[in-house]
Amino acid sequence: LRINGNRLWQSIMDMAVIGATNDGHVCRLALTDADKQARDLFVRWCRDAGCRVGIDRMGNIFARRPGKDGSRPPVLTGSHLDTQPPGGRFDGAYGVMAGLEVIRTLNDLDYVTEAPVEVVVWTNGEGQRFFPSMVGSGVFSKAISLDTGLGCADGDGKTVGEELKRIGYSGDRTRTGHPVHAFLEAHLEQGPVLEKEERMIGVATGAFGLRWYEVEVSGEGSRASFTPMQARRDALVGAARIVAEVNEIGNAYLPNASATVGELHVEPNSRNVVPGNARLSVDLRHSEIAVLDAMEKDLEGAIVRIGRETKLDMSLRATVDLSPTRFAPECIGAIREEAEKQGIGYRDMVSVSGHDACYLARVAPAGMIFIRCSGSRDGVKDLVSPAAAAAGCNVLLGAVIRLANR
């Protein structure tokens, strides 16, 4: 049982043409015209492969290949087709195309699994246009309400619901979240570990928990030329101290910790005005919930202390809270057994990033296959070899069959 590596590669390359930028990246923000084109292509390929295609109210697309027993819930596999601006050719699209290749291979072999097999495209995996990320799988898994999901707005005030209607992907499935026998997501590692260790595959045993916050710092905006140093309430000075403190928190809880300020908005952002207001984002991650709690406590304490010392008003608002994920033993086992059977070098790993599989793990046994990539440390270039792409898909094929026949 082997997938067709050339066909898989060609599908990834054909998909990467949609939204391609001049420098080899892809820009396909969620629910834009480019995203619609990518969805249309996926749906056409799935219908060509004999699948029945269903779309739910969140615009999640499900392409089903029937099994022997139509009453059984499907083994679901897939990822997202939207990208960062700009993103890589493989992030998200690899997992979707690998799922499609599994179905095409089953067709070639005339192999009918016990349970049906479904390939899914989750809406807004990246969350770049609509905050938060993974809102399609979040609603499917009941972690986010349908109203909240449809109401997420972009910078221009356009909502997910409106944009889904506009591109024709506001589906007619009234029920979002059907029973799932198991969910597997294949994804590139987006990290250096597999490359360094010269292994093809990572078997995710879980994922870091993640908490996002917005911090608002308010002081007093005033002309730099008129305001003596001792009379200033400079919001950016307070924000800068928070940035440094967040970095300290990350370093204090190593090895499995990460703490980042990635966004900073300064008002009025003018060179001769003392900033009166600053907003910043905080991203805390850890593999253990107790440590995440401790990191959060440190952050809260730092904000109170810095506010007192700088005489600035500070507020902290939590926006996203994803618990650490533990993937299901049966999924981890199926992936490991396949990698071993196929003689593919693998290691266990814990995902630092959030993925759609983290939400699915709340409602079904879930697992993830990472494939080796390089040059991904800037978050954009994701260089994957055809051999790694094929290896991950072969393991996915085997694991899907194992789970569907169980």
Catalog residues that contact Zn ion under the rule CB under 5 A: 91-92
Distance CA 316, CA 396 (A): 42
Based on CB atoms, which residue is closest to Zn ion, 280 or 349? 349
Complex with Zn ion: residue 91 or 163, whichever CB lies closer? 91
The contacts found for 377-384 with CB under 8 angstroms, 24 or more apart, are 377/191, 377/192, 379/84, 379/190, 380/25, 380/84, 380/86, 380/87, 380/88, 381/24, 381/25, 381/88, 382/88, 382/89, 382/90, 382/91, 382/188, 382/190, 384/90, 384/94, 384/188
Amino acid identity, position 347: R
The SS3 assignment for 141 reads: coil
- Nearest C-alpha neighbor of 31 from the set 118, 104, 124, 107: 124
Can you say how many angstroms the Cα of residue 214 is from the centroid of all Cα atoms in its chain? 20
**Least distance (Å) between residue 217 CB and Zn ion:** 32
CB nearer Zn ion, residue 31 or residue 217: 31
Least spacing, CB of residue 153 vs Zn ion, in Å: 22
- d(CA 165, CA 159) in angstroms, rounded, equals 10
Pick 31 or 240: Cβ nearer Zn ion: 31
Torsions phi, psi for 14 (to 5 deg): -65, -40
**Residue 78 Cβ, how far from Zn ion at the closest point, in Å?**
11
CA-closest candidate to residue 64, choices 80, 81, 47, 79: 47
Nearer of residues 74 and 92 to Zn ion, judged by Cβ: 92
Of 92 and 149, CB closest to Zn ion? 92
Helix (H, G, I), strand (E, B) or coil at 257: strand
Nearer to Zn ion, 92 or 209 (CB): 92
Query: Shortest gap between Cβ of 267 and Zn ion (angstroms)?
Result: 33
Strands 222-223 and 264-267: unpaired
Residue 382 Cβ, how far from Zn ion at the closest point, in Å? 10
State in angstroms the smallest separation of the CB of 69 from Zn ion. 32
Closer by beta carbon to Zn ion, 67 or else 92: 92
Give me the least distance between CB of 327 and Zn ion, in Å please. Answer: 16
CA distance linking residue 144 with residue 140, whole number of Å? 8
Six token digits for residue 56: 């739910």
Q: Kindly report the backbone phi and psi dihedral angles of residue 60, in degrees, each rounded to the nearest multiple of 5, phi listed first.
A: -70, 135
What is the smallest separation between the CB atom of 80 and Zn ion, expressed in angstroms? 6
Give the pairing type, strands 117-122 and 75-80.
Answer: parallel
